[in-house]
Structure 1
């Protein structure tokens, strides 16, 4: 039996969260930090797309497929064009991120991780058969796992997208569609389409639902065909180059970000997914930079919580209001964008707004239904 690899930091799982950490470590040029990655698959190629907002001029800019200063939010009542400045909406595909992460020096252990054991001084990552694979000072574990306890409200963000290619210009490459609520709405939940154009002939067109359960596979295709009809796209004359599917939890159940002193969980497992929307990327990016900065300063690689506690409470109330039918989902989001600057709403979804800004946002929501949801949430917490 071979001895485990000895390193300073082990990444358990090599997906988006780990790749962002590796890219951040590479930017810091931390030659003295020994790193290992444990994953059964060497991540490469195109397997997902992240869309996120933030200021331009970041280290990820050279990797972006597209970025937009303006986006559309569409309801049956009309189209609203939102200026995001000083932010912008950006698209990052997985292949360039995986390639950048691969340039950071690390030991790649191509195996499925089993147990992660922390004795307070070192962490041992073993394979599924119990064989020790890596021994490290710190472990960053991004493998999916459920919350520490079940939430009071448990929804999903679930979606399917088609990468559509046309022989003639059919997309507006200068503007993305952030949310288009003209899609048929589920009996319990919210649905919307969106369009992320890379050029006037190539775009990701996606159908998304916030609801308690997934659809059967053919239902996503029917929804996408219906949305393409709304957009005036003749899919029969286009090519579906790629298909993307995903399911992301939207729950007020608490995730455990630090199950033991030297084990840190990242991504959804560490609470990086925003409960009210399922958005995750910005929190992962923020934590990756914090981890690299801490290591560069000789500090433990422990990031700050992904969201303030008050935002998690606000999300729990919003989820409850949607789930119990206290508010109409389309009207809720439309009102939020109508009564606030788009950049403020997006910064709230990223968890970076101040208390004063949060109060402004809360005052723009339907107060009586949200107060009922807050009261119900408070009673549920006492049970």
Structure 2
């Protein structure tokens, strides 16, 4: 006979980065009178991913950062630009400290952990049954679901940010620990897409060196390794003096497809499935952190744990236009990003990419791009939206 489901106020389905940030935020906001469960087949520990993001110094993340930089480089074939990010910083956070902080929060909050894969969420509008196979394992007032989920429907542009990184240790000082390389476009550019390398140094002897593409499809293992070898050689690093300590891979959606952040009355999605990934860049961490803080603030105040949309609608529209222009080859990726940083303060560009700029600032950012191809992309995007709306209207009759 199956045992009765665990009754809780809040269930976190999926125990990765988004759920870990929620647990830490609940602890930080002093939410102690809530029954919480985590449903995940794996108890996450150790270093399985790295997040890079920008924020303001002196906050709760300071003790767990691996490194941070007040200056970054953006490199093209024509120039090397050093950007001062003040009052922001560019920061790197590895998953191990995030999981450790979440585990400590779990203990203080008295969280129930259910080691199972959730197969279904049955929401009747009052409670949600979390099912693993045929068994209901948790009954919750609210569910926060951070598992990867496809968008509600395909987008007009469907790209991926895909990458491989090497954690390189050198037996001599070779990295500038005071400055990160944000984007280095000297890498060979794909026929359809954008590529760049970047360097995140922890010290002058240890750094994450990564190759990234924005394009429709991932590479093979051999393709990533060849690209990383080429970028290592471009940086002038001697392979005989280097050791690859770890390898990181990832694939992140870059699409104008809509993600359903609130699929049923008492189920809320977080992370990429909840719209936290910025379509034009693939950055996710800052939005996940905002979602976690909004959830914890709401619960502390007795409100439903439904965060605000990760990005303003006008930003998602601008992302759709930019992705369309890049996908159709109307603009060059290196030229697009080079002009953004050349014609705007770095701090404005970073806040724009994080969804935190005003309409006036966004007009300045948009005017720094090449206008004819962006106007054409805007018109094409509008036409596609109208056609899609008409098709959905005919199907609903």
Q: Give TM class, smaller chain.
A: over 0.9
Residue 21 (structure 1) aligns with: 22
The equivalences for 1:1-383 within 5 A come to 1-104=2-105, 105=109, 106-127=111-132, 129-383=133-387
Distance 2:160 2:231 in 1: 20
Distance 2:310 2:139 in 1: 27
Query: 1:236, CA displacement in angstroms?
Result: 2.9
Residue 390 (structure 2) aligns with: none
Query: 1:315, CA displacement in angstroms?
Result: 0.3
SS of corresponding position for 2:99: helix
- Is the Cα–Cα contact under 8 Å of residues 146 and 255 in structure 1 kept in the other structure? yes
Deviations 1:163-183 (Å, cap 9, x if unpaired)?
Answer: 000111110000000000000
Distance 1:26 1:240 in 2: 37
Q: How many residue pairs end up in the alignment?
A: 382
SS of corresponding position for 1:36: strand
SS of corresponding position for 2:119: strand
- Is the Cα–Cα contact under 8 Å of residues 173 and 205 in structure 2 kept in the other structure? yes
Query: 1:207, CA displacement in angstroms?
Result: 0.1
- Does 329-338 or 233-242 show the bigger shift? 233-242
Query: 1:117, CA displacement in angstroms?
Result: 1.0
- Is the Cα–Cα contact under 8 Å of residues 87 and 347 in structure 2 kept in the other structure? yes
- Alignment root-mean-square deviation, CA: 0.7
SS of corresponding position for 1:372: helix
- Is the Cα–Cα contact under 8 Å of residues 148 and 254 in structure 1 kept in the other structure? yes
- Is the Cα–Cα contact under 8 Å of residues 179 and 192 in structure 1 kept in the other structure? yes
- Is the Cα–Cα contact under 8 Å of residues 52 and 90 in structure 1 kept in the other structure? yes
Q: Which runs of 4+ in 1 moved over 3 A?
A: none
- Is the Cα–Cα contact under 8 Å of residues 160 and 206 in structure 1 kept in the other structure? yes
Residue 393 (structure 2) aligns with: none
- Is the Cα–Cα contact under 8 Å of residues 9 and 142 in structure 2 kept in the other structure? yes
- Does 181-190 or 232-241 show the bigger shift? 232-241
- Is the Cα–Cα contact under 8 Å of residues 272 and 284 in structure 1 kept in the other structure? yes
Distance 1:372 1:11 in 2: 43
SS of corresponding position for 1:37: strand
Query: 1:362, CA displacement in angstroms?
Result: 0.8
- Is the Cα–Cα contact under 8 Å of residues 172 and 241 in structure 2 kept in the other structure? no
Unaligned runs of 5+ in 1: none
- Is the Cα–Cα contact under 8 Å of residues 5 and 139 in structure 2 kept in the other structure? yes
Distance 2:195 2:238 in 1: 22
- Is the Cα–Cα contact under 8 Å of residues 26 and 103 in structure 1 kept in the other structure? no
Distance 1:335 1:277 in 2: 16
Distance 1:329 1:57 in 2: 34
- Is the Cα–Cα contact under 8 Å of residues 38 and 109 in structure 1 kept in the other structure? yes
Distance 1:328 1:167 in 2: 38
- Is the Cα–Cα contact under 8 Å of residues 50 and 94 in structure 2 kept in the other structure? yes
Query: 1:198, CA displacement in angstroms?
Result: 0.3
Distance 2:62 2:114 in 1: 30
Deviations 1:318-355 (Å, cap 9, x if unpaired)?
Answer: 00000001101100000000000111111111111111
SS of corresponding position for 1:113: coil
